Structure 1
């Protein structure tokens, strides 16, 4: 028994020596016959190719591949038969090493220990018609049967590539992959049901374009890491185990699957990163997409998961699904900065089944988006951005915040907010241009409480204001509005039909319908509506587009107001039970069916105010009934008259007037601007201390009391033309005297009034009841013909009317 170990050792030694002798013999044979062998190899390989394989030289490497047979092939090139047409060489290598296991070869198994490709260029080319230079390899339709034909399939154990340029140029499918392979080292273990491999790589990705018309992914990015692959013969699937790989500046866990059983081959690649910088992520995408994403930024890294799936069909675009989680981050966007930003995001380029993987079928979803914008906290439960070719954003927006913070968002040129709280709950839809929302359409509510707002174009201030806005599909409903300006309190409700459609396309057609009630309005606190609306300067700043459009709407829209006011005050004027229908437009104000109670009577008015420059041109028709004339004149500052004032009047006025003129933006009537007609009837009236009459009395009726002249009824017609008032022939029947009056009274120069005054004392006819007799006796006796004209001192002078006929 002790002899068997010795015999075994000797046998192994002899066997090893024989193998070594065989190896040396083969190596020596190759070395001395390499020229003939190279010629034979070239001939044999070219016989199975649709093209040509050229090997410049072959050198055996004794120590490189021991115990295998190793050869180094120099200047290797492989070209297809149509190379002269397209000029793209499939393989061009300066150095190609192959090592075959000599012992396995003796047993009939071809085991390639190592294949090394160095300083090479691999160019896989497909032209626009579908022809590929890989057709250099002849197709063999015969299926080899190992049991009947013997032999074995070659098994490669190690593969390495160093300094290899790899190009896949598929012009039919518009695909271009360009890789600068610095180093790839792979180890392959063959199992009974397939193989498994580990690969370490260091590759510069110059281009990864699945569709060259869309641009390249991973442009000029360095990939460094390791992969584990497993192939199953039965399923014909290559599984890529998830491993950490660096791409550019980011670290990813990459996995996937390649289904070789499908024709064409289908693949799924997954990329995960727990901490990825926004700029690093965007730099991995196409230039076009990155350009859009770079308008945004997130301060802290985010967690990202991506799945890319597709096939090798010419022109196909892979499906892309990306999800990310953002928590307590800072988002920078074209619209501003969002602090404390958190959301879950999802992207897909195949939103609807059957419509392809493309931009029009792309969808971005953002869930539970929260943050602070200009210190305004908000929540968007869901945001959808559909169709990246013509993107449309839809979503919800909820926020409750101090309204003063809007000054930071929109500026203070149009509206200045000084206090109050806004509660916003909206569903919106908007186009996106350069990743900014344009022309949003809203549904939902905006409620504002206790607001203090300055409307800058008209210098109006509203305090303790409450506003309720409700946006429906098309209309705007405005509820429970209460505004206070000074001592005025206004309660309003209103609506705008078709508001959302007209807001952007035709603001001049917008009509606000208001129902207004108020216990008290001081018109002096709203004089801003008489002033020309101040133009708001466009400021180049964030959100200026929204405020510019709002400014246009406020400037061009129309307002129809139905007003019910308990008490109206303006300067000296006071009225009650006011009712009015007003229409406000860009050009001015239209007044319809205005009625008030004033000075014991009623006033009714229709008319308009046209704004031009710094003046307001008005035209009104009025009816006055049973108004205390003294109070009436006092309330309107005697209508600009200097000589004839409320102090000279007593009685009750009935009048119909058509007057036009101008009023300043301070509510003052412009002197000498009035034009129109005044038809009046004064009942139970009196003239008190009226200078023209007293002037006549000084020399005509020295013994009559002209300080207080009473009359039961006085009517007449005045035609007003600027500074001149034409007194149509008018009979004055009073307690002191009778007279006929006609002529022109001027507020400047040009007074010329004819007065025909009988000396007969009206008291003598006091007992006569026959009106006809009274009329006949009225002008009997001596009649004085007096002319009132301008004096040198600016006062009215009286003289005999020499021109009387």
Structure 2
């Protein structure tokens, strides 16, 4: 081994050994500090610092040795049950040599994962002045002092509330660092900060809401003269970068400001990024040109009764933006604005003014002015005029979710509002606006059909919007609407406000499939709130279509809310009769639910079954049932997101009557020919059939009913599933069979009727229609018929109670049977 290499290895071994020995010694001595560190720190503070545990670390704050105080908090000294500080970790850093000398000087404070709340009450008392004045170290205990040269805040929420000046702010610090010899009389402090400004609020005015911020600056700090001079530095708000110059100097009763700031190499996007609205991400790629400026100053003395002068000038002169794909240019952009807090320097005298702004795009132009005065209780004045080609706007701005758009819009607006409390008052008689839109076509990503033609004319008066015309064509449907929306400006401006109004809607032809065109797969953006609205609607349509269903003279009154339509007094003519009802149409969990109580009169049942595709069942279809239907019905029907019927969720209770009815080739009755020769059963005619039927769990329940017909009078009860599996109980009069020369089976299966001296036959028919089983049942079938008659009314009441919430006095009533016909037995001749 070469001699030089051997020397290097020996040296490294010695250094590692010394380093290891040093750290062992440090850890042995630091344990002594842990015993009383928290007590010593609290002796330097006027508010108590608490920690769940204390550890020692070197590697997290290397080369510092640190006490790691875990889950720390400092109680607010002037507010009960509040915290000045909360953090997951607080690191107090010491130099290794200080630890070796048992001279514990805190050089580093590092906080992470928590919050700091700095508060000033109405009398000017603060909660953060908690460091006691430095005292000479006591000889009875080891020196323990702050000689801070670095402060770090990571993932910390910083809130400031000053009731005296009516100022508050909330900032999230992703990472921040302040470094310098804080205990020297004069030193340079370097500040690096990156985070997010939630808001800065002064009086009633809110600035820098949800803006990315950054600071990179150096300050010359003269602690003897309380002067803070900016050596270099910049302050960043989104894309706006400001160079800071000047100084701040504190004295006993006042603070002097001599500050200036100016943005260099500023683009239009940089300036617009400071506005309260968010710009589309794509606009960052647009080519910007023109003279863009932002500059200002803060100068003067601040005392309890005086504020410094704040002046800001900003604007765009001969600006332009070029969209990179189409090369379309938004040009002649002109905007000049200013902020001035007036001679008094108070918010009451502060004014934000944009006396003019305008821009031109191919086929489009806009111009206007804006003034906001008295920022303590702001008053806004806005004038806006313009016209635009919608296709040109879309090509330039690339509207999200728009596939295709054509048409034009014209608008003029004069607006005045006053901030009162937490809201705005828009009741000024000066508030006027006219809006006119001609739409040639509109295709959106989350609408399954396009709006092919549209015309909207609306007028704003005070705080109310009047819709004088709103005509649309969607596929084959036409819609014409008028309406009023009181409190419309509140809805536009106030977060979470509800849209309230009334609309009258008419149509010559209305297809519901042309209305239900919203694709529920539309994802809601993060933080986006669902639109809240309550709309009173009166609608009518000459022709009303839904799938195969066709109606005329449709009228309805409804209340529209998010995912809910409550309809009343719905009336229409269809299938040769009339229909009326009340109910709810509910949209939830990608399902459509209809709850309804309705009445039908004189409906052609054959046509009705055809139009509604037999209501999703195969028991009674348009091929085997004719007649005139009248019914009082309560129902609950559920469809999936594609409007496919979910039959196992269907519930129907109907008190119905069919007059002049025909039952054609009804398989369960035709099967009786195995026992008796009844050809007439293939076309069973009856003058009237009454019963109360229920559908639940894909099962049709038929309570006991008489079927008096041209072939063979009988009594029937039972159940019939949607899968065509049935269980019927049938009662026949043997005397009637004999009188019609039928051929009954042996009378050992019969029973003599004590009332009529005749014989009744009881049949049970069970199984799938393709393989029915027939059994003569002298006792079991009779008992079942009696039990069905007894339980029928109670069962229906229970269904109504559980599923519909209908009270005992509901209009839906069971058809009463004549007590003498409980067994439907007939007199023998």
Q: Specify the TM-score bucket, using the shorter chain as the normaliser.
A: 0.5 to 0.7
Q: Which moved more, 1:307-316 or 1:682-691?
A: 307-316
Q: Which of residues 356, 363, 367 in structure 1 aligns to 2:344?
A: 356
1:448 Cα deviation (Å)?
Answer: 1.3
Q: Which has the larger Rg?
A: 1
* C-alpha spacing 1:693/1:328, structure 2 compared with 1 (3 Å): same
Find the aligned partners of 1:617 and 1:561 in 2 and give their Cα distance.
Answer: 20
The 8 Å contact of residues 581 and 597 in structure 2, kept in 1 or not, is answered as yes
Among 289, 300, 307, the residue aligned to 2:290: 300
Secondary structure of 1:672 counterpart: helix
Cα-Cα RMSD: 5.0
Of 731, 741, 751, which aligns to 1:756?
A: 731
In 2, Cα distance between equivalents of 1:631 and 1:762: 34
CA distance 1:304–1:605, shift in 2 (3 Å): closer
Q: TM-score, normalised by structure 2?
A: 0.52
- Is the CA contact 2:490–2:497 (under 8 Å) kept in the aligned structure 1? no
* Partners of 1:392 and 1:210 in 2: CA distance: 34
* Correspondent of 1:804 among 781, 789, 792: 781
* Alignment correspondent of 1:788: 765
The 5 Å alignment of 1:173-572 reads 207=246, 215-217=257-259, 299-301=289-291, 327-330=317-320, 339-343=330-334, 345=336, 347=338, 349=340, 356-357=344-345, 360-372=348-360, 377-387=364-374, 394-405=381-392, 407=394, 413=400, 418-428=405-415, 443-454=432-443, 456-457=445-446, 459-503=448-492, 505=494, 507=496, 509-528=498-517, 533-538=520-525, 548=528, 552-553=530-531, 556-572=532-548
Structure 1 residues 477 and 617, CA, compared in 2 at 3 Å: closer, same or farther?
A: same
Give 1:705's aligned residue: 680
The 2-side partners of 1:635 and 1:779 are apart by: 46
Residue 718 in 1 paired to residue 705 in 2?
A: no
Q: Distance in 1 between matches of 2:556 and 2:575?
A: 18
Superimposed CA distance per residue, residues 420-448 of structure 1 (whole angstroms, 9 cap, x where no aligned partner): 2121222346899xxxxx99998513221
Structure 2 partner of 1:677: 653
Matched, 1:662 2:638: yes
Match of 1:55 in 2: none
Q: Displacement, 1:342? A: 4.8
Residue 464 of structure 1: CA displacement? 0.2
Please report the TM-score for the alignment, with normalisation by the length of structure 1: 0.54
Q: In 2, distance between residues paired with 1:778 and 1:412?
A: 83
Name the SS of the counterpart of 1:700 in structure 2.
Answer: coil
1:632 equivalent in structure 2: 608
Instruction: Provide the secondary structure at the position in 2 that maps to 1:489.
Output: strand
Instruction: Name the counterpart of 2:580.
Output: 604
Deviation of residue 207 (structure 1)? 3.9
- The alignment partner of 2:516 has SS state of helix
Distance in 2 of aligned mates of 1:645 and 1:472: 57
Aligned residues of 1:174 and 1:315 also touching (Cα < 8 A)? no
Q: Report the Cα distance in structure 1 between the residues aligned to 2:566 and 2:662, rounded to whole angstroms.
A: 36
The 1:316–1:565 alpha-carbon spacing in structure 2 relative to 1, beyond 3 Å, is closer
Per-residue deviation at 1:387?
5.0
- For residues 298 and 363 of structure 1, the distance between their equivalents in structure 2, rounded to whole angstroms, comes to 29
CA drift of 1:710 comes to 1.5
1:174 Cα offset (Å): 10
The one-character-per-residue Cα deviations of 1:615-642 (angstroms, maximum 9, x if unpaired) are 2232111111011110011111111221
Conservation of the 8 A alpha-carbon contact between 2:355 and 2:370: yes
Gaps of 5+ in 1: 1-168, 179-204, 222-247, 250-276, 290-294, 433-437, 540-544, 766-775
Match of 2:606, SS state, is helix
Q: Using the alignment, how far apart are the partners of 1:500 and 1:729 within structure 2?
A: 62
In 2, Cα distance between the equivalents of 1:463 and 1:448? 14
Q: Deviations over 1:284-317 (max 9, x none)?
A: xxxx99xxxxx99984348999999999999977
3-state DSSP of counterpart to 1:518: strand
The C-alpha deviation readout for 1:443-477, integer Å capped at 9, x for no partner, is 51322112423455554532201122333322222
What whole-Å deviation, never above 9, does each CA across 1:716-767 have from its counterpart, x for those lacking one? 11122221122111111111111111121222476211111235669989xx
By how many angstroms is 1:411 displaced?
5.8
- Structure 1 distance, partners of 2:299, 2:401, is 52
SS of alignment partner, residue 607 of structure 2: helix
Contact 2:600 2:631 in 1 (8 A): yes
Q: Given the superposition, is the C-alpha separation of residues 513 and 417 from structure 1 closer, same or farther in structure 2, using an over 3 Å criterion? A: farther
Shift of 1:521: 0.8
Note if contact 1:173-1:316 (Cα within 8 Å) is conserved in structure 2.
Answer: no
| Aligned partners of 2:481 and 2:504 also within 8 Å | yes
2:680–2:711 contact (8 Å) kept in structure 1:
yes
Q: Secondary structure at the match of 1:366?
A: strand
Secondary structure of the structure 2 residue equivalent to 1:751: strand
Q: Which moved more, 1:391-400 or 1:652-661?
A: 391-400
Query: For residues 494 and 255 of structure 2, what CA distance do their matches in structure 1 show?
Result: 36
Deviation at 1:515, TM superposition (A): 0.6
CA contact (8 A) 1:400 1:423 kept: yes
Deviation at 1:577, TM superposition (A): 0.2
Aligned length: 508
Partner of 1:54: none
Is the CA contact (8 Å cut-off) linking 1:395 and 1:429 kept in structure 2? yes
Deviation (angstroms), 1:383: 1.8
**CA offsets, 1:668-695, max 9 Å, x none?**
3212322231111111111112111111
Superposition deviation, residue 349 in structure 1: 3.0
TM-fit CA distance, 1:344:
6.9
Paired with 2:615 and 2:680, the residues of 1 have a C-alpha distance of 28
- Indicate how the Cα distance of structure 1 residues 629 and 344 shifts in structure 2: closer, same or farther if over 3 A, else same: closer
Asked if the contact 1:417/1:451 (under 8 Å) is kept, the reply is no
In structure 2, distance between residues paired with 1:440 and 1:557: 20
C-alpha deviation, 1:573, in angstroms:
0.7
Mean CA deviation greater in 608-617 or 481-490: 608-617
Question: For residues 332 and 670 of structure 2, what CA distance do their matches in structure 1 show?
Answer: 85
For 1:804, what is the secondary structure of its paired residue?
Answer: helix
1:744 has 2:731 as partner = no
TM-fit CA distance, 1:580: 1.1
The change in CA–CA distance for 1:297 and 1:675 in structure 2 (over 3 A counts) is closer
Partners of 1:461 and 1:439 lie apart in 2 by 38
1:590 and 1:506, CA in 2 relative to 1: closer, same or farther beyond 3 A? farther
Q: CA deviation at 1:644?
A: 1.8
* Cα shift at 1:216: 3.0
Residue aligning to 1:231: none
CA–CA distance in 1 between the matches of 2:298 and 2:512?
69
> SS where residue 468 of structure 2 aligns?
strand
1:589 CA drift (Å): 2.2
